[in-house]
Structure 1
Amino acid sequence: MKSAVKKNESKKAKNEASMEDFKFEYEYEKIIPDLLKKIYPMNMCWNPSQGIQNKKDYLFGIIIGLFLCLVIIRQAVGIPLLFLFILLAGRTIKPIKSYLLIALIMAFKILLISIIVINNSNGLDLATGKIIYQRTVNDIILLFMLFVALTVDNKKGFFHFCIFLFILDLLFNVYTYIYGVTPYGDIPNKRFYDIALRVEGIFRHPFYSILISVAALFVGFLERRKWLILLAIINILINGSERGYLILFFIAIFFPLIHFKVKEKYLNIVSVMMVTIIFGSVYYLANKLTGFMAHQDRISRWAAGFYSILINPFQISSWIRWMPQEFPENLKFYPTIEQSYFQMNAESLYLSQAVNYGMLICLVTIGVYYFFYNRLRSKFIFLISWDAQIALLFSYIIFLDGFFAYSMGAIYITFFYCIFCVVTDSSKLSDVK
């Protein structure tokens, strides 16, 4: 009898708790718009039907896009000019405390990578400086953008330039399919297991074309442009690289999970399952089917990368590779593996950083991406805002893409990621300089 009474009391307590949660969510759904404007740096009240409020701000966003193209074409010239333009336009701010902490961590990461590069090179000279710049450019972009605030019209101008760039890229790819060569006169590549040609788009590489399409896809989601979403998906599908198909697969899986507010633990479980399935699928194709040379090479690099970490996981050299290290003799049977840890491309952003620089750098990268994801994942944002959900989805996709992708095209998508998920909305600040 007593146990039955206790069960009834516990059920009653649970029901009351669930009702309190419902009331909490309901009350905040009514007051979120004003509350979010004060708390979060991302613009959470994006209205695609709203026209351009400030033409100068809109033009500023377009010019940022033009400078980004220059960065892709000529990094050494484009990055300084892009940063200088933003500085002279007075778009820098004193960021919030959490952003300052991330800025310190990013600066520390860049310093560590610079020291490792110097120790693995012939001292500090011009050639070494170029290597440092090439290996830290994405971190430099992210660090700088922590101190930038943009208006809604700034973002609209930039996003609309991304649409224009995507249309050009799509036209280049359509031309390639019609005439069999790119507008530059290059013959597109197609591996025997590819579904489609590896079309290169405007920047002459499939990864750039895919990432330009992914950016346009998320602008389409943000502004609810169905035609843009459809064309972006088509441009990804006609590109033979599996990276594009993988990104679409992730979007198809995680979009409904995020939209219908699935709990964090279930998102994490699905993420682990997805990563495991992809690694397992590539391993199966490489070992069971003949001719998958690229996958065989990818598997060998993954295996060598994991081995380099696990062989001595508790040694300082595995956490931070201050001095040059070479692969042991028992890894020489991998014919395409570079001799030095520092030089190896492990076909994964996180794994490559763990091999090149040590696990500390890898964990810092993962931690920074998780910080921005977690910021967007906050309960306040997750309740109603459409643009917050899209930003959260994009943040999640970029994080997962790092498990399988490396550097090509990273500058474009890193800058887009900063505009989409990182930069502060200046309409919510009183300290914009």
Structure 2
Amino acid sequence: MTDTLLLLAPIAALLIGLAAGKAWERYKLQDGRWIDRRKIRESPHYILGLNFLVSNQIDLAIEELTRAMGLDSTALEINLILGNLYRERGQVSKAIQLHQRLLQRPKLTEMEQAYVLLCLGLDYKRGGFIDRAFEAFSEVTRLDPGNQYALLNLEKIHEEQQQWQEAHAIRQRITNIAPDVEKPRDQAILAFLENELGLQAMRQGSPEQAVRHFETALELDPRTVPASLNLGDVHLQQGQTTEAIARWEQISRTAPERSYLAFDRLEKAYAGASSHGRFIEFCRRLIDANPQDWRARMTLGQHLAAQGDARHALEFFFDSLVHNPHALAVHLAIWRSLMKLDFDQALVNRYLSLTHESVFYLDPHICMRCHYRSTELLWQCPQCHEWNTFVEERIAPAEDAEETEDAEAPEEAPA
């Protein structure tokens, strides 16, 4: 019996300790009374505040979370959320003051301190205090070296100030700690930063160094189109026309949807090399490889029009119009050709039938991340600062839309 009691005593002490620890975790003494920490999360104000937050009703979320904080004004989680909501509502100074007060608490853990500093850094960045934001994010990475949010914000600050070498170093740190599934994306961003370093070297009059950066970018990601374009430009400046042409032609294999960016360069390079027919062959290969490529058709038509063959050019313009009836550039090219052909009535009627219910727009490029629109293809979004996120928005012709709907419609059950 005595032996049994001796065995049970340590177990009982352990259970009592666990119970005390759980009670201490749940309750805390404040102003002479015990506060139940769980009551805040179980509070209807807290739940309503989160619901309003999810539905993007910021003012109502702030109102309910402020009421929930009445149960425990020192609750770190709610204070952090409220500060972030103030920032999103544009009350940056109020957010800064709240987060600064949290940072002055004496018993914050390193992780809690890092998170408060991260929120404070975002406040500073939103308010335009870039130096203070940089210091806050740097302190976060000191406390938590693997904090990707702080690293990403440091990288964006360097990019906005065109400090490409520093941005590249930060992205390399992110790549080193990223899981394997994210490494291709990180390498693609590194490639764009290498391209920027190459452009910087070009401006500084160091073409050899620029070539190394462009080649490194293409080793990281062969689909880095601006690096291919810029490397070809350097080759051409150095009198290496064959190498320049090969580099620009490579784009049609690595990123065929961006081949049109090299059209003007290739047309001039072929002409300089006395190979006029190669450009027509190049465009025809693109059309054969991608029957939907309206730009190759339009460019081929412009090439023929420049040689005085307006009627043949018009056929390519009409064909291009079928695949993209909303591109204003195609319509302008057609009208120029019709003018040269004295507005042949049959051709004008054909044009009118092709353009029935067409819509024109000037900013077809849209960022997939933040939906920013642009009249031209941009490699970095000026609004969200993400790399290579622009795609060309296309409006499907009415016939194509009807065919898609018919294909997706469920078949009726046989009678």
- Shorter-chain TM-score tier: under 0.3
| TM-score using structure 2 length | 0.26
Structure having the higher Rg:
2
Task: Between the two structures, name the one with larger relative contact order (CA 8 Å, sep ≥ 6).
Answer: 1
